[in-house]
Amino acid sequence: MNKVFIIIKREYLTRVKNKTFLLSTFLFPIMMMLFIFGSVFFAVSGRQKQKIAVANDPGYFRQNIKIDSSQTIFDFTPGTDSLNYEAKGYDGVLYLPGDSSSDKYVIYSKKQIGLEPRGQLTRQINKAAENRLLQQRGIQKEILDSISLQVKNAVELVNVVPEKNGKSKEANAGLAYGIGFGSGILIYITMFVFGAMVMRGVMEEKTNRIAEVMVSSVKPFQLMIGKIIGIAGVGLTQFILWIVLIFGLSLLASAFLPTELLEQAKQANNNVPGMAQNNTMALKLLEAQQTLSGVPWGLIISCFLFYFLGGYLFYSSLFAAVGSVINEDPQEAQSLMLPITMPIIFAFIILSTGLSSPDSTAMFWGSIIPFTSPIVMMGRLPSGGVPWWQLALSMGLLIAGFLFTTWLAGKIYRTGILLYGKKASWKEMMKWAFRKS
């Protein structure tokens, strides 16, 4: 046992002290936060409003449009056209169509109009056109507005999901979807990343010819387990650092960013329905903030760590077995890895197709069978409603599963690591695994 600990320590420390590890651990969250807040920041502020001249307003447009909105300012000074708008200091000039319905709104500008101003412009024009048509058909706009306001306030879809302890809880499908997908994909990626790390470690020992030196001191199984646990420690360290860093950084970032953002979110909420989409990002942020507290974070984070570890242990020993039978050429690994990577990819497919209905048969079986459960169960958990017995069964099977794969891989590893020259096939590996020692 003591020897396994010495091996774990070496495997852990050599990797944690590695520059790539430090770089990826500290840079990833910083980059991510920079990216998210950067894009939000630029979306909200720091953009110049587009000054648009309207060349031929027959009158209805001026009445039905918000002249100064977040992205655009309209100007109705007559005499501006596509030839002189630049000289007059406008970013573009808009031509309204005549009465024929096939005519189009045409805008001349020197530079392509950005995606967001263009979206807003389109919405404004649509609104104006809609109002105009309402007027023409004799429908009062106020009546329509009051109807849509009534509809908005009165009719709301609330999905009530029964909880086991009798309480009912409003489920936020979108958020659950996001969290489930996010954690599933994270486990999917880490299983590959850390599984490959184990495989490379084993290959390194074999190609460096240190394997035989090692197994004259320790049992091959101790060497394999030590490596697997050491690398699991590396993975956990990275996750915990990421969680802490992201949490810390978002606290830091929220200190100066969202005041403005939330202000806009509130404003957007109070606006007329048509204008409400103005800043969807700010709205979503507000909504997310309100519902984020409703997610069972304790359960999700602890299950995430369990399924990360369980899935990792389940697959990494298989990766170790593959690493032990191949030689210098990493390409040899490709064909041998296929039977391992297939179920992982399959699990991901179940997750991505089944997320919209977390209680479907595919999702149920996928979350129970240990080959796919680490990824699929994480997709089911955030939406709630996973009975405790299913969770317990899934976890129990995963534990049994990784004990089995570790035992199996240990037997392959023991033979493979001392075999030089040729690569073994899966058939041979299975023969080693099941022969009596």
Partner 1 sequence: MQNILEVKNLKKYFATQKAVDDISFNIEKGSIFGLLGPNGAGKTTLLRMITGIFYPDSGEIMLDGKKFDPINDVAKIGYMPEERGLYKKMKIGEQAVYLAQLKGLSRTEAIHKIKDWFVKFEMQTWWNKKVEDLSKGMSQKLQFVITVLHQPKLIILDEPFSGLDPVNANLIKDEIYNLAQQGSTIIFSTHRMEQVEEICDHIILVNKGNKILDGTVKRVKNDFKENLFGISFEEKVLPEHTAIHLFQVVEKNEHELVLKKNEGFSTNDILQYFMHKGLTIHSFHELLPSLNDIFIRLVEDTPMARQFEQITAS
Please choose, out of 27-35, 103-111, 203-211, 238-246, the segment that lies near partner 1 by the rule CB under 8 A: 203-211
CB neighbours (10 Å) of residue 114? 12
Q: Which of 145, 163, 170, 212 binds partner 1 (CB under 8 A)?
A: 212
* Residue with smaller CB distance to partner 1, 180 or 201: 201
111 vs 209, which CB is nearer to partner 1?
209
Position 14 contacts partner 1 (CB under 8 A): yes
Question: Residue 242 in 3-state DSSP?
Answer: helix
- Closest approach, Cβ 331 to partner 1, in A, equals 21
Q: Which two tokens stand for residue 312?
A: 């990792």
Q: Does 3 bind partner 1 (CB under 8 A)?
A: yes
214 scored as a contact of partner 1 (CB under 8 A) = yes
CB of 150 or CB of 217, closer to partner 1: 217
Comparison of 104 and 436: residue with beta carbon closer to partner 1: 436
- Residue 210 lies near partner 1 (rule: CB under 8 A): yes
Spatial contact of 121 and 66, defined as CB atoms under 8 Å apart: no
Q: What residues contact 316, with CB distance under 8 A and at least 6 apart?
A: 194, 195, 198, 228, 231, 232
The rounded distance, in Å, linking the Cα atoms of 332 and 145 is 68
Question: Is residue 213 involved in binding partner 1 (CB under 8 A)?
Answer: yes
Check binding of 216 to partner 1 (CB under 8 A).
Answer: yes
**Closest to 181 measured CA to CA, from 336, 33, 300, 15:** 300
Let me know: does 55 contact 275? Beta carbons within 8 Å: no
Question: Any contact of residue 193 with partner 1 (CB under 8 A)?
Answer: no
Q: Which of 125, 218, 246, 399 binds partner 1 (CB under 8 A)?
A: 218
- Per-residue binding letters, 397-436, with partner 1 (x by CB under 8 A): ---------------------x-x----------------
Rounded to whole angstroms, how far apart are CA atoms 129 and 60?
9
Q: How big is the CA angle at 110 (ends 107 and 113), to the nearest 5 degrees?
A: 60
Indicate whether 44 belongs to the interface with partner 1 (CB under 8 A): no
CA distances from 421 to 117, 216, 224 (A): 65, 20, 21
Q: Does 219 bind partner 1 (CB under 8 A)?
A: yes
7 binds partner 1 (CB under 8 A): yes
Contact flags string 150-189 toward partner 1, x per CB under 8 A: ----------------------------------------
CA atoms of 301 and 299, how far apart (whole Å): 6
Token pair 């091959």 in the structure block, residue: 220
Dist. CA 86–CA 81, nearest whole Å = 9
* Sites of contact with partner 1 (CB under 8 A): 3, 6-7, 10, 14, 204-205, 208-219, 418, 420, 437
